[in-house]
A = this chain, B = another copy of it.
Amino acid sequence: MDTLEAIGTRRSVRHFTRDPIAEDDVHTLLQAAMAAPSSANQQAWHLVVVDRRELLDQIPTFHAYCAFLHEAPLAVVVCGDLSRERSGGRFWVQDCSAATQNLLPAAHALGLGGCWAAVYPIEERIDGLRRLLHLPEHLVPLNVVAIGHPSRLPRPAARFDPARVSWNAMG
């Protein structure tokens, strides 16, 4: 799929068939995520792939906006790896968000769909994932990205808004 089409037509997908994600596609998604830029190239990320049904089904018990995980065959939990963070903690959220946003158009290009559900900085969600996935202290979950084969495709959204653009000095 063409890059501008993938970026422009990607929507959050919350309804999935039960089909699993091919191993090659998982690898492609992880590669896309790790191709992101990062502050001083620190790559302070760690990706936890969750495909066990009992784990996916537990996440909504502490993260109400993740009910779509009951339908999703797989999720990627994008974590900041503080043991690799060399910016005093200032940039890992930005770096890991970039990695996440590489993953989503890549999924769309593969015919898959995904939805980014925020975790950090909400303590209940962080603690819930930490306990469920046995995350060590140096990994901080930033989000949960559901991945699956869309059972319904949302129509592309036109989000461009010229009111949110300025040129050069304002005011």
Contact = CB atoms under 8 A, between A and B. Distances in A.
A160 B30 contact: yes
Contacts of A102: 7, 101, 105
Interface of A: 1-8, 10, 12, 28, 30-32, 34-37, 39, 43, 45-52, 55, 81, 90-91, 93-94, 97-98, 100-102, 104-106, 108-110, 115-116, 118, 121-122, 132-136, 142-143, 157, 159-161, 164-171
A81 B106 CA distance: 27
A49 B35 CA distance: 26
Contacts of A160: 30-31, 34-35
Copies, count: 2
A165 to B, nearest CB: 5
Contacts of A50: 167-168
Nearest to A105: B3
A51 B3 CA distance: 25
A34 B157 CA distance: 10
